[in-house]
Structure 1
Amino acid sequence: MRAIARRAARVQSFSLTTGALNAYVERVNIGKEATDLILNDIADRILRGVETVQGGVHEALFEPVIRLGVTGLSRSGKTVFITSLVANLLDRGRMPQFGPATAITAAYLQPQPDDTVPRFDYEAHLSALTSPEPHWPESTRAVSELRLSFKVRPAGLLGGLTGQKTVHLDIVDYPGEWLLDLGLMEKSFAEWSAEALQAARDRAEGEAFLAVLDAADPSAKQDEPTAKSLAQSFTAYLQSARAAGYSDCTPGRFLLPGELDGSPVLTFAPLPAGEAPRGSLHREFERRFDAYKREVVKPFFRDHFSRIDRQVVLVDALGAIHSGPKAVEDLRRTMADILLAFRPGRVGRIMSLLGQHKVEKILFAATKADHIHHNQHPRLTAIMEALVRDARDRADFAGASTQAMSLAALRATVEETMEHQGQSLDVVRGMTEGGKQAAFYPGELPEDPAHILSPARKGAERWLDAQYEIMKFRPARLTLRPGEGPPHIRLDRAAEFLIGDKL
């Protein structure tokens, strides 16, 4: 509590300083408008600090809040993961590996605490998955939030004396593409341009954009038609690269612009090094790049990402393997870059009282495990562990707890064994996008992850000894008994790792 008193004293001292600052700015003849801006900024920071302390004290002492961030790159299954997780935490009949399941006496959805963030549309997404003609819900396109509250019966001898406690789970859903943008904060326009242009040259998808860039003169006077042409061509390249399985497609808002679509802050592109006279296209693109970091990336980190203390990163590892060695190596580097955006480690009780947050636990999960037979799940998990080895080592060193696993938030297939050319094949069967039942054999994943990662690190164009196929399945029709959530694979183990200790 002494730390809280010291923090309050600093806040009071800070407020007294505003009078001295006001006298100073009058002496140096700063205009009234500038003075008001400075004082308003200081007042805003003081208020934010006081609210943070108050919120931290209330949460730590009365109703603890777990802030769980859910992210992943496009098509990794974030929306389905959150929907199935919430449904299975409300009805825990399929959660045998979730330790606190028997201690939870009630679970219910509440209004989210932040009125300025869209609510995760859980009911609509669950309806899409459980309707008579089930279909996949709309994917994540912006930040959203959902609060799930638990009444928990404490364990141990004192459980009967203390009574039930309330614990809130705030789930924050945000696009992984936006998370990658945090890495731009420490890069200059020249550094980012060099990396982005090199990536475009190494990929067939970048040819059209490079042709448009070659026809432009970055040192010429800036004009908006040229700027739009370059930005649109660069965006088309990023979309094609993402569709081809590449992960490092930044800036992320070019792919998911939201309300910023068409704005100047999204109208720039990487340019080769060269002269940048005042008023030139190069100088304007550099200014817009800095504005993107300041007006888009920094507020996202401040308002959403910096408050998260548990994190799950969903990865479509099977999709990357299907796309080839280059996509796998790109995914490995992206996973390492994603961890740099986190602040892994543990926060002491006093720091948590003051509203300080670090990501204490990170789960790296390979999704769509139902697309392969269960006897290959250990191999997929081993590949996932190898893919994120660099990222996990850094997090473990910083004091965070990490885990890698393979899972399916919603099981869309069943398993069978078929005879094919005198051999027994372990297959999965499900409803294809075309509406037909089909059995599918994706190929054997290697027992040694090095057989995947070594060709990827060496820049191989394709797999030498095998091809790994994928198939898109529709969600299966569900018949849920009372008390059961949707069928899944290891979602209970994921929940146990992420929030079990807090309940």
Structure 2
Amino acid sequence: MVLGSIADGLSRGVEQIGAQLSETFFEPVIRLGVTGLSRSGKTVFITSLVANLMDRGRMPQLRAAASGAIRTAYLQPQPDDTVARFDYETHLAALTGDAPHWPDSTRAVSELRLSFRVQPSGMLGSLGGPRTVHLDIIDYPGEWLLDLTLMEKSYAEWSAGVLERLAGRPEGPAYLSAAQAADATAPHDEAQGRALAEAFTAHLQAARRAGFSDCTPGRFLLPGDLAGSPVVTFAPLPRPDGPPRGSLWREFERRYEAYKAQVVRPFFRSHFARIDRQVVLVDALGAIHAGPQAVEDMRRTMAELLTAFRPGRNRWLAELLLGKRVERILFAATKADHLHHSQHARLTAIMEALLREARDRADFAGATTAAMSIAALRATVETTVEHGGATLDCVKGRLAETGKVAAMYPGELPQDPTRLLSPARQGAERWLDADYQVMGFAPARLNLKPGEGPPHIRLDRAAEFLIGDRLS
């Protein structure tokens, strides 16, 4: 086991040194990880980002595009032959076709390589010609990212944390009753264990639908070929005194540790360990609509993620990365087009407040972090509506469920983010002085001019933060 770990570490070290030499002397590579919390729009983000990097007419805040430093951008075969290719063409056709619709969501890891011909700036740029810079985009489910927070927790610690917050979450009380009724010291019975795992999975699915962020373990929601295997057949239990060998507690504890060792760690070794930049997409509006408990869950999840991103706080991650760190992390609130532009600053302020508290709780350092509100694909237009003698700033678009065009006034976000965060921290069950609404809009039919990508909100600023410094 020790020799295997040493060999694995040496192998990764040689790979990293080789990659660094290749990037230094030949063609630099930026590896951008894209993931998101529940229903945040990862597929749309990647598709629109790539389209707008290839046709840069809507990217004025990306300095390399505005200055003309990017001469051209084009797709190439990805370097990882064993990873599925992100199906960019199919997703773009879904968003921009005659009957536009949202593409299928992320269910596994995929990758896409976009290459740039860039004219360097400064003295060296004037002496040489354009160079090639590769952007490797790695798309993976946010549910899997959250598993990073499990690695430093024992089964007992994880169980205690989950059970503590079950009472206020969808189908949580039902599972809590089942867990408390189970005799964790009795001999393990596979039928009972499977029933508990299925009940816990049903709770996770309901919680995700309700807008909650922390729904671990992630493979319970997206098991793939692991469905039905022992490694995803466990659940949290109240800790008993002195559980004997062969008991339900001991078997669930063993499977939890196997999940970390055989599912989580290999994923991060193969993919996460090589990421340079990371964007975490967040459906903040959905959480606000769901209520204070969902907002508090999001705040706590962001804090745990930032703690996990800091290798110094995680011995296993420090060993895995061998000194390499994620250099920049963007937390982006998506669906900004569901709000009138007059409220975008308030949504950004809420995200910044969530991120600031996450930094404080995590004592985070080592990477540049930022918060932003964006819409990777703008699906609405702004309008005003007279209602009750007042003029309301609304957004209008085609509803995903009915296809009808409707205007929506989602409610007014507070200027002070603590108006939301304080009730959330205090465990309020609902907002006392506001009612926030969210509608599901379908993509609008587009008529794109030559050289223009799909319409968006601040996607160019997100790109500048994530990769702009590597394109100049």
TM-score normalized with structure 2 length = 0.93
Aligned to 1:495: 463
**What do residues 32-77 of structure 1 show as CA deviations (whole Å, max 9, x unaligned)?**
xxxxx88777655544432332122111222111111111112111
Shift in Å, 1:401: 1.8
**What do residues 457-476 of structure 1 show as CA deviations (whole Å, max 9, x unaligned)?**
11111111111000000000
Aligned to 2:407: 439
Aligned to 2:448: 480
Aligned to 2:17: 53
Shift in Å, 1:301: 1.6
Contact map agreement 1:120 1:145 (CA 8 A) in 2: yes
Structure 2 CA distance for partners of 1:476 and 1:207, relative to 1, 3 Å: same
Selected match of 1:370 from 326, 334, 337? 337
Structure 2 CA distance for partners of 1:40 and 1:290, relative to 1, 3 Å: closer
Aligned to 1:21: none
Structure 1 unaligned segments of length 5 or more: list them: 1-36, 346-353
Shift in Å, 1:393: 5.2
Indicate whether 1:114 and 2:80 are aligned.
yes
Selected match of 2:422 from 437, 445, 454? 454
Selected match of 1:221 from 187, 193, 209? 187
Larger C-alpha radius of gyration, 1 or 2? 1
Indicate whether 1:379 and 2:346 are aligned.
yes
Contact map agreement 2:119 2:131 (CA 8 A) in 1: yes
Moved more, 150-159 or 119-128: 150-159
**What do residues 432-489 of structure 1 show as CA deviations (whole Å, max 9, x unaligned)?**
0210000110011111111111111111111111110000000000111111100000
Structure 2 CA distance for partners of 1:71 and 1:279, relative to 1, 3 Å: same
Aligned to 1:338: 305
Aligned to 2:132: 166
Aligned to 2:357: 390
Contact map agreement 2:180 2:238 (CA 8 A) in 1: no
Aligned to 1:205: 171
Aligned to 1:289: 256
Structure 2 CA distance for partners of 1:265 and 1:452, relative to 1, 3 Å: same
Aligned to 2:204: 238
Indicate whether 1:430 and 2:394 are aligned.
no
Selected match of 1:87 from 22, 34, 51? 51
Selected match of 1:420 from 375, 387, 404? 387
Aligned to 1:99: 63
Aligned to 1:260: 226
Aligned to 2:436: 468
Structure 2 CA distance for partners of 1:362 and 1:39, relative to 1, 3 Å: closer
Distance (whole Å) between structure 1 residues aligned to residue 196 and residue 375 of structure 2 = 40
Matched residue of 2:326: which SS? coil
Distance (whole Å) between structure 1 residues aligned to residue 464 and residue 310 of structure 2 = 22
Residue 115 of structure 1 aligns to which amino acid in structure 2?
A: D
Q: 1:27-38 maps to which residues of 2 (within 5 A)?
A: none
Moved more, 122-131 or 387-396: 387-396
Distance (whole Å) between structure 2 residues aligned to residue 203 and residue 398 of structure 1 = 32
Structure 2 CA distance for partners of 1:258 and 1:399, relative to 1, 3 Å: same
Shift in Å, 1:343: 3.3
Aligned to 1:74: 38
Q: How many residues align?
A: 459
RMSD: 1.9
Shift in Å, 1:308: 1.1
TM-score normalized with structure 1 length = 0.88
Moved more, 194-203 or 41-50: 41-50
Distance (whole Å) between structure 2 residues aligned to residue 246 and residue 187 of structure 1 = 21
Shift in Å, 1:243: 1.4
Distance (whole Å) between structure 2 residues aligned to residue 204 and residue 91 of structure 1 = 44
**What do residues 67-121 of structure 1 show as CA deviations (whole Å, max 9, x unaligned)?**
1111111211111001000000000011111100111111111111111111111
Distance (whole Å) between structure 2 residues aligned to residue 41 and residue 425 of structure 1 = 61
Structure 2 unaligned segments of length 5 or more: list them: 313-320
Contact map agreement 1:118 1:145 (CA 8 A) in 2: yes
Contact map agreement 1:91 1:483 (CA 8 A) in 2: yes
Matched residue of 2:348: which SS? helix
Contact map agreement 2:49 2:459 (CA 8 A) in 1: yes
Contact map agreement 2:179 2:236 (CA 8 A) in 1: no
Selected match of 2:112 from 136, 146, 162? 146
Aligned to 2:288: 321
Residue 154 of structure 1 aligns to which amino acid in structure 2?
A: P
Distance (whole Å) between structure 2 residues aligned to residue 98 and residue 291 of structure 1 = 44
Shift in Å, 1:364: 1.2
Distance (whole Å) between structure 2 residues aligned to residue 45 and residue 331 of structure 1 = 34
Shift in Å, 1:492: 0.5
Distance (whole Å) between structure 2 residues aligned to residue 457 and residue 496 of structure 1 = 33
Distance (whole Å) between structure 2 residues aligned to residue 296 and residue 485 of structure 1 = 38
Distance (whole Å) between structure 2 residues aligned to residue 324 and residue 224 of structure 1 = 37
**What do residues 215-262 of structure 1 show as CA deviations (whole Å, max 9, x unaligned)?**
432222112111110100000011111112211111111111122111
Matched residue of 1:158: which SS? helix
Distance (whole Å) between structure 1 residues aligned to residue 144 and residue 422 of structure 2 = 29
Selected match of 1:125 from 74, 91, 98? 91
Matched residue of 1:444: which SS? coil
Structure 2 CA distance for partners of 1:169 and 1:393, relative to 1, 3 Å: farther
Distance (whole Å) between structure 1 residues aligned to residue 323 and residue 152 of structure 2 = 22
Matched residue of 2:293: which SS? helix
Shift in Å, 1:162: 1.5
Residue 298 of structure 1 aligns to which amino acid in structure 2?
A: R
Distance (whole Å) between structure 2 residues aligned to residue 98 and residue 491 of structure 1 = 9
Distance (whole Å) between structure 1 residues aligned to residue 159 and residue 4 of structure 2 = 36
Distance (whole Å) between structure 2 residues aligned to residue 384 and residue 45 of structure 1 = 37
